[in-house]
Chain A
C-alpha cells in the first residue's frame, strides 16, 4: 500500500491458522484467564456501538442461570457495509470458533448465528462449514452446538433485542432496556450477542495473544477493523486497516481526487465534510463506524443522500415508538417541503430540534442514530438542503 499512514492488516482473513489447535489450547485455559486476555486486548464490539467485548462475556458468565446463549449477529444491514458477508464467506470457522470460546466462558451449550435474510445464498456453504466445525468439537469432546437462523430482511432485527424477538418467532421490535442481554436476552436468558467481526477478532486474539492486537490502533480504538469501502472510489471493496487513521488519510488512499464528503458508519453514522477530513479520526475517539465508508464526490447532491437515508429509516423503523416512527416521516417530508419552498429554511432548525429529541427519546439505537446523519449533513451542507 502506497499510503504511509495506512497499515493494512491481515488478522481476519489470515488463512494460516490452525483452527483446532487454537480452540484446544484456549479450552485448556481458565475462564478468568480468557476474560483477562480479552480485556487486556482492549477489543470493543465491531458492530458500531463499541462495548468492550470482555465485559459482555464477563457479565454473562456471572449470571447464575443454567441456560445461557451465545448469539452471533450476522444481520449485517447497515447501508454500505458488506464486510460480515466477506468474513462469513471466507473464514466462517473463525466465527464459529469465537462463539465456541465464548460458550466456554459463559457456560453455554447452544449458540445461534442469525443470518441476514439477503445472505441466504451463503447458507449452504455455511452449513457445510458448520458440520466440519461440529466434527472438530466432537473430536475435542466439546459440548456446544450452533444453529443458523435466517432473518427475513428487516434492518431493525440487527438491533440485539429485536433480533432476539425475531429468533423467538415474534415481531422484530426492540425491547425495553434494562434488562440488557447479559441478564435477559434470547428466551429471556443471559446471552452474549456479538457481531461477526468481533467474534473473529476474539478468536484471533487467542491465536496471537492480546499484545499483538493491542500493538495496533490507539488507546481508545485498539486493533484493526474491516472496512467496507464504497461510493465514489476507484477501489471499492473490503479492507482490514489499523484503527486510528484520520478521514484525510483514508481519503488519500480511497478517494477519487474529488471527494467532498465521507459518510462514516452508514446511514446511522456521521457525514464528514472535506473541511473536517484532517481533524477527524475514524474510531471511538472521533467518528465510530461498524465498517461502512461511503465516499461522495462533488457530483453528488447531499440533499439526495440525506433523503435516501431518511427514506430508508422511514421504512426500516419498526414503528413501535413515536419519535422514530413519526419522527422519520417528519424529517423526510420536512426537507422535501423546504426544498420545494413550501416551508421556510428556518424549518430546518425545527427539524434539527426534532432530530435531537429523537436522539434522546427513541426506544432503541435505530431511532437514536437517525440524528447523526441528519445533523451532520444539514449542518455541513445547508445550502444544498435549501437550494
Chain B
C-alpha cells in the first residue's frame, strides 16, 4: 500500500497517497483548481501555469498539476497572490490568442473562453500579439484544420501525438516568442505523417485544431430537391452523441438519433452497422481463405498475420510506418466505404435511383474518415462513394441548428434496405469488437456451432488494456474445414497507435505468432475517436464501451451472418463473400507512403 501523506489545503486537512499531486489532492476535497495544459490522458507538462497555488514557505507559486504532495504541506488555492497571478496568466494567454470568439468554430466549447468567463476578463490588460505574427491557417487537410493564431502552446496535441499515437506529426518548433506547434519542415498537415486520427482535435482546449466541418455542404445537399441524400451512422456515434446534446456519457441514443436525422431531412437513414456485418463476412472469409492457403496449399506467398482494415487512422499509419506489412492488411474496405460503394450501386438499383443524384453522407466518430472518403481508392461505384463525412460533433451541431429537442424525441428504426444490423456490428465501436464479431461468425462457419463463450460474450478480447491477446481452439470442424481441426487461432487486439506499434514491432521481430490482429487507431477504439464529443477521458470512454456492450446484449440478432439483409445481399447482388462483385466494390489495396 502506498505511503500516506498528510497536508492542508485551504485550511482543510487531507490524507492522500504518496505521489499524488496537489491538483489531485484538491480534487478529493472538491476544490476546483483551473487547468489548461493538464489532461487526464496525458503526461503532466506544467507549462500553462494556470493551476498555480500558494505553498507556505515557498518563494514561488508551484503548478499544482506538477507538484507532488509532501508531509505537512500547507496549500492555499485562493489568495490574492494566486488570484493576481492567475488573472495575469489568463490575460497573457488571451493576448497571444486570436480571440474572435463569435466566429470561432469552438465558440461555446473552448476552455480558454470558459476560463476568461470564470475570471470575468472584461478588457484586454496587455497588448494584442496576434497582429505581430504572420499566422496562416493550414486548411489543406480534408480532416483537420490548424489555426496557430488560436494556439495557446499548451502542447496537449504534441503529447497526444507522441504518447498516445507515437506518430509525432506535431511537435514544438522554434523558441521564445517564435515558439509554435508545427510539423516536419512546417509542411501542411496533409503532407506529413499525420494519420488524421483527430486525437489532437479531441484534446485541443481552443479552436487551434478542429475538424474540417462539412455542415454547410450537407445542409445544401439536404435542401437540394434533386438529390436523394442517404446517411449512414457508425456504431460508436449512438453511444456518444447524447453527450453533446445535454446527456450523460454512456446513454444509448440510437432511436432518437434516427428520428433526428429524419427530421433534419435526410431521405433515407441507414446504418453503417449493416456494412459492419458485411465487413465481418468479407474479412472473416478472407482470414479463413488465407489460413487455408497457408495450411493446405502451403502457399508461401500468403501473408499472415492478417490485420483489420476498418480504422483509416491505422491504415495511414501502416502506410507510413510499416509499409512492408501492407499485404498483411485485410483487403476489405472499411464499413463506411463498403456502405458508400453499395449506396450508389446496390441501393440505387433497388430503389431505382440514378446514382449521380445520390449524395451519400456518413456520421462517424472519426476525423480520419473524412480523409478516407477522399482517397482515390474510394470511387468504385463510379462516383465518390461517400460524399461527406460528419463527425459526431457536427451532427450535434446540425441537430441544435434545426431546433430539435433531442432528449424529447421518440425512438424510431432505421430505414431499409441497408438499415438492419446485429449486435456483432454494434461492438465494432469498441476496441476488440471487430475481433469478437469476426470470431462469432468464423467459428460458427468452421464448426457449425456458436463460439464457446457464455452468451456469445468473448470477454478475453474486451477491456481497455492497450494490447490484449486471446486464443481460441477450433475443434470438431465441418468436413470442408477439416484442416483447421485442433488448430488454435491466436489473436491480438491493440488500440491507440502506440499500442499498434508495440504489436507491429513484435511482428517485425518475429515475436508474435498471431493469425489475426485487430488494430484501432484511437484509444478505446472508435468510441474514443477523434470526432467524438469533447472532453474525453478513460472514465467517459469506459461508459461509452459499457453502453456498446449493453446495446449488443439487447439485440435480437448478434451474429453478422444472421443479419437478414446480409443474407439477402449475398443472394441478390454479391453472390458470395470475396467473390467477384465483392472484390470490385468492397476490397482495395493501399500503398506505401514516405515517412517524410
Contacts and interface: CB of A to CB of B under 8 A. Distances in A.
**Is this pair of chains taken from one and the same complex?**
yes
Interface of A: 154, 156, 171-173, 176, 178, 313-323, 325-330, 333-334, 337, 350, 353-354, 357, 359-363, 368
A252 B132 CA distance: 45
Contacts of A176: 44, 46, 63, 66-67
A321 B175 CA distance: 11
A154 B176 CA distance: 10
Nearest to B88: A357
B175 A316 contact: yes
A361 B60 contact: yes
User: What is the interface of chain A mostly: helix, strand, loop, or mixed?
Assistant: helix
Contacts of B48: 321-322
Interface of B: 44-50, 52, 59-61, 63, 66-68, 81, 84-85, 88-89, 92-93, 95-96, 125-127, 129, 132, 152-153, 155, 172, 174-179
Given A315-B176, A363-B63, A322 B49 contact: yes
Given A319-B176, A362-B49, A325 B125 contact: no
B49 A154 contact: no
B63 A322 contact: no
A323 B49 contact: yes
A49 to B, nearest CB: 12
Nearest to B179: A319
Contact of B129 (A317, A329, A362): A329
Contact of B172 (A171, A334, A362): A171
Nearest to A171: B172
A316 B177 CA distance: 8
27 contacts: A154-B175, A172-B175, A176-B46, A178-B67, A314-B176, A315-B178, A317-B177, A319-B178, A320-B179, A322-B49, A322-B50, A322-B89, A322-B93, A323-B49, A325-B176, A328-B177, A329-B177, A330-B92, A330-B95, A333-B129, A353-B84, A359-B60, A361-B89, A362-B49, A363-B46, A363-B49, A363-B63
A158 B63 CA distance: 22
Contacts of B50: 322
Contacts of A361: 49, 52, 60-61, 85, 88-89
Contacts of A171: 172
A334 B91 CA distance: 14
Q: What does DSSP make chain B's interface, helix, strand, loop or mixed?
A: loop
A53 to B, nearest CB: 21
A318 B49 contact: no
B176 A323 contact: no
Nearest to A358: B88
Contacts of A330: 92, 95, 126-127, 129
Contacts of B127: 330, 333-334, 337
B179 A360 contact: no
Contact of A319 (B60, B89, B172): B172
Nearest to B45: A320
A172 to B, nearest CB: 8
Contacts of A337: 127
Nearest to B154: A322
Contacts of B178: 315, 319
A326 B95 contact: yes
Nearest to B180: A319
Contact of B177 (A314, A357, A362): A314
Nearest 10 pairs of A and B residues by beta carbon: A319-B179, A326-B92, A176-B66, A357-B88, A320-B47, A315-B176, A317-B176, A176-B46, A360-B60, A330-B126
Given A318-B179, A330-B127, A334-B126, A325 B153 contact: yes
User: Which of A315, A330, A350 lies at the interface centre, i.e. has the most chain B CB atoms within 10 A of its CB?
Assistant: A330
A319 B49 contact: no
Contacts of A350: 125
A171 B172 CA distance: 8
Contact of B88 (A315, A329, A354, A368): A354
Contact of A360 (B85, B92, B155): B85
Contact of B153 (A313, A319, A323): A319
A200 to B, nearest CB: 29
Given A176-B63, A322-B47, A360-B59, 6 more contacts: A325-B177, A326-B92, A326-B95, A333-B129, A354-B88, A368-B60
A17 B102 CA distance: 72
B163 to A, nearest CB: 14
B176 A321 contact: no
A368 B96 CA distance: 20
A323 B93 CA distance: 9
B182 to A, nearest CB: 12
A315 B178 CA distance: 8
Contacts of B89: 322-323, 357, 361
Nearest to A355: B88
A156 B175 contact: yes
Contacts of A319: 153, 172, 174-179
Nearest to A156: B175
Contacts of B96: 325-326, 329
Contacts of B179: 317-320, 325
Contacts of B176: 313-319, 325, 328
Nearest to A362: B49
A350 B61 CA distance: 20
B171 to A, nearest CB: 8
